[in-house]
Amino acid sequence: MRMPEQTLLPGVGLRAFDDYGALCGDLAEQVAGCLRESIRERGKAVLVVSGGSTPVGFFQVLAGLEVAWARVTVVPSDERWVAADDDQRNSRMIRQYLLQGPAAEARLLELAEKEDQTPEQAAANASQRLDELPWPADVVVLGMGDDGHTASLFPDAPELPGAMAPDSTAVVVTSPGSQSTRRVTLSARMLAGARMTVLLIRGSSKRDSLDRVIEEPLAIGPMPVRYFLHQPMTVFWSP
């Protein structure tokens, strides 16, 4: 069951659900509708999605919905610098749970290919591939860590100022000290401005983190997800 929508900040709404299944169904229908509209208008659509376990149920519902999937390009918001078959690989999870059934016709644009020898090389090559797509994206589904990071824009990454800059490259490398691997991630400017931007979170700790995020929306460095509060966005949350 969905609870009445709340306004957290101007342009930022909260849709809270009693259970995760209801959230997944509602969010999948909305995302599918946005993708269909974009395809009708310009013949193609770009969907950016985050990794982790939270979006799995949403992916499974979305994969079965009627969309002209052959006209959709799916882009991970970020990627760990691990082997292509590693369980931590976001693209592996996207293939396993989203690119199934009807959605198997969608194109997945990898942020790191087998021939990339370093994260820097992967970021440069992925930036070139992204230039072929129409930006801003049609739908961006972000996640959030308890530390306020989103994608791989971590508060303790020394590369964060460059990744948040308006003239950043499309894909950047981050090396957060709190994490065991380096990352390649879409920069803030590439994640911003979508027709539909969603922050998908689950659990009481993430709701507490959200409260901290909205208390100081201008303090972006300590919690980089705050960057996206200054545009239209909807938070989807369930216990």
Q: Are 237 and 17 spatial neighbours (Cβ–Cβ below 8 Å)?
A: yes
Q: What is the pLDDT of residue 91?
A: 96
Q: Are 35 and 65 spatial neighbours (Cβ–Cβ below 8 Å)?
A: no
3-state secondary structure 89-112: CHHHHHHHHCCCHHHHHCEECCCC
Q: Are 194 and 170 spatial neighbours (Cβ–Cβ below 8 Å)?
A: no
Alpha helices (H) in 155-218, listed in sequence order: 160-164, 188-191, 204-215
Going by C-alpha positions, the residue among 166, 79, 55, 92 that lies closest to residue 129 is: 79
Q: What is the pLDDT of residue 4?
A: 73
Distance in angstroms (rounded) separating the CA atoms of residues 231 and 59 = 24
List of E strands, the chain: 6-9, 12-16, 45-49, 72-76, 78-80, 107-108, 139-142, 171-174, 183-186, 196-202, 233-238
Q: Give the three-state DSSP class for 197.
A: strand
Domains of the chain plus CATH, in order, are 6-238 (3.40.50.1360)
Distance in angstroms (rounded) separating the CA atoms of residues 27 and 33 = 10
- Quote the distance between the C-alpha of residue 92 and its chain's center: 15
Q: Which token pair is 168?
A: 């950043």
Distance in angstroms (rounded) separating the CA atoms of residues 149 and 14 = 19
pLDDT in tens, the chain (239 residues): 677 789 999 999 999 999 999 999 999 999 999 999 999 999 999 999 999 999 999 999 999 999 999 999 999 999 999 988 888 999 999 999 999 999 999 999 999 998 899 999 999 999 999 999 999 999 999 999 999 999 999 999 999 999 999 999 999 999 999 999 999 999 999 999 999 999 999 999 999 999 999 999 999 999 999 999 999 999 999 99
